[in-house]
Structure 1
Amino acid sequence: MRTTRDDAMAALRTWSAPGRRAELLEAAWNAGETTISALAEAARISRPTVYADLRCRGIDPDQRHHQEDKLTTIAIEGMNGTEADKQAVGEGLRRYIAQHPDGRGLVEEEGRLFCLHLALYAYNRIIEATAKEEATRRDRDRALHQVEIRWEALSTAANWHAAHHTYVVAVDAARTAIDAWESAAAALMDAPAMRRGVGNDRVIEVYEQYIVGAGHPPVSTPDIIDAADEAAQLRDRLEATHARRTALAAQTLGLTEAGAR
């Protein structure tokens, strides 16, 4: 799931207009990317230049108070949506019986605990899947950016063969990163939907009352995300570009070997 931080970093990687770089660095910083090396790599500039650009935008890079909001898995009434909840449900029912010796409302309480278990399962699974998708998306975008950086470095490399090998390794790493993101995105697509309908209205009621009502942030899954299609497009572009560059590199290598004879 693409975030504001991802968009800011993508824009930073493609800056070109004079004066635009500092503005984009500020946007990336405010979106949560406060790692100087990551900003420098994305903008293709030195770390001192990043510091200077941030300061010209009124940002003190040494004061990194901004923290990206991160959702974390939760537990309520001893349950977290796993198999271990069986014990917590049993303990909860025993407490209820101790408080209501006549057993009145026991069936309803058992239903509430079961729905809370299901709601926690869905909530925590969405959080974990979202975090994995966002992390692998960032790794994917960075890997693709590295391919461009390594290719550009060939133009001025003192050791062309070593630099070309580094480029080839970067292409392979990008393939791996795309695969990892596709897997994480597919898992996010398969995560339970936290919305009413399909027979889960009671679970959503418990989610709204005991999870969101307790102050935990609401969660949701993307309505539409076609991981396979997006990954296929990325692979196609990567391979097509790599094939063209391989042909160019072969010409350069041929000229180099001819000159050495």
Structure 2
Amino acid sequence: MRQTNALQALRDWSTPGRRADLVAAAWLEGETRVAVLAEAARTTRHTIYADLKSRGITPADRPKGTPMTAITIDGLTGAHLDTEGTTILEMVRAYAAKNGTDGIGDFESNLVRLSYALGAYNLIAAAQAAEQSARRDRDRALHLVELQWEALSTATAWHAAHHAYVVAVDAARTAIATWAAAARAAVDAGWFPVSQAEEVYRERILTAGHPPVERYDLDVDTESARLRDALDQAHEHRARLAGQTLTAAPTGAAR
């Protein structure tokens, strides 16, 4: 059964239009950088444009990326609860002027809980957005290492191509370290500190259409060490192969 499934997956990959489907799926998930799509698909930018067009996607209409900004509900962000206390007090006074004091305690408590939940959400969401961006850059950097190594097989200017590979390895190490720092910050951001804040998150923030956040349970040090060790081991093995190539090359070759 496993062999059958493996062969079916291989056949599925070779089905005409499958690459275009995958390119379109990545685009719709938010990866709208054509160069990145071309690298991932191991094809050209021209082909990516054609694939997108074949699926009814116009690259010129790509959404403009914006950094994660604090969300606001009922005029509150929770960024600084002490400062926002003045806003809450003004809202309570306005409520009292319109409705009297009946129910004013619940009204004020709900505003405080909302502000507290918004403060936690904005902190968590910003940290997780930064981690996910760094993760994408990390994965792209690791993929570029493989592309640069493969390019050596057919490179006419071998030394220049090898240097590009070495630079890609160094960039991948940096990308892993950058991701690890962002991941630690996301883990440190934690979760909603009290159950009431989590309830407000589900009842007010999610229902307002804001993106969900998740509990981060990630051993960053172990994962970053695994990625770095795998990169270094592969690079050491490839360095030995490259050394054999240089040794065997005639004088004046591989330039």
Q: TM-score, normalised by structure 2?
A: 0.77
Q: Distance in 1 between matches of 2:212 and 2:50?
A: 38
Corresponding residue to 2:229 among 230, 236, 241: 236
Residues 98 and 114 of structure 1: CA distance in aligned 2, closer, same or farther (over 3 Å): closer
Alignment gaps of 5+ in structure 2: 1-8
Residues 18 and 255 of structure 1: CA distance in aligned 2, closer, same or farther (over 3 Å): farther
> 8 Å contact 1:97–1:106 — kept in the other structure?
no
> 8 Å contact 2:190–2:216 — kept in the other structure?
no
Q: Distance in 2 between matches of 1:192 and 1:223?
A: 7
Residues 111 and 253 of structure 1: CA distance in aligned 2, closer, same or farther (over 3 Å): same
Corresponding residue to 1:88 among 84, 89, 97: 84
Corresponding residue to 2:251 among 241, 253, 259: 259
Q: Distance in 2 between matches of 1:18 and 1:100?
A: 67
Moved more, 35-44 or 96-105: 96-105
How many angstroms does 1:242 deviate by?
0.2
Q: Residues 14-69 of structure 1: CA distance to partner in whole angstroms, max 9, x if unpaired?
A: x97464433432332343333332222222212232234445xx423436657599
Alignment gaps of 5+ in structure 1: 1-10
Moved more, 168-177 or 178-187: 178-187
Partner of 1:211: 205
Give 3-state SS (helix, strand or coil) of 2:24's partner: helix
> 8 Å contact 2:23–2:51 — kept in the other structure?
yes
How many angstroms does 1:149 deviate by?
1.1
Q: Distance in 2 between matches of 1:113 and 1:22?
A: 48
Q: Which amino acid aligns with 1:93?
A: L
Give 3-state SS (helix, strand or coil) of 1:259's partner: coil
Q: Do structure 1's residue 39 and structure 2's residue 37 form an aligned pair?
A: yes
Residues 218 and 43 of structure 1: CA distance in aligned 2, closer, same or farther (over 3 Å): closer
Partner of 1:153: 151
Q: Which amino acid aligns with 1:76?
A: I
How many angstroms does 1:224 deviate by?
3.2
Partner of 2:195: 201
User: Please, what is the CA RMSD of the aligned residues?
Assistant: 3.4
> 8 Å contact 1:191–1:221 — kept in the other structure?
no
Q: Residues 222-257 of structure 1: CA distance to partner in whole angstroms, max 9, x if unpaired?
A: 35333322222211111110000111111222233x
Give 3-state SS (helix, strand or coil) of 2:79's partner: coil
Q: Distance in 1 between matches of 2:48 and 2:222?
A: 35
Count, aligned residues: 239
Give 3-state SS (helix, strand or coil) of 1:225's partner: coil
> 8 Å contact 1:126–1:219 — kept in the other structure?
no
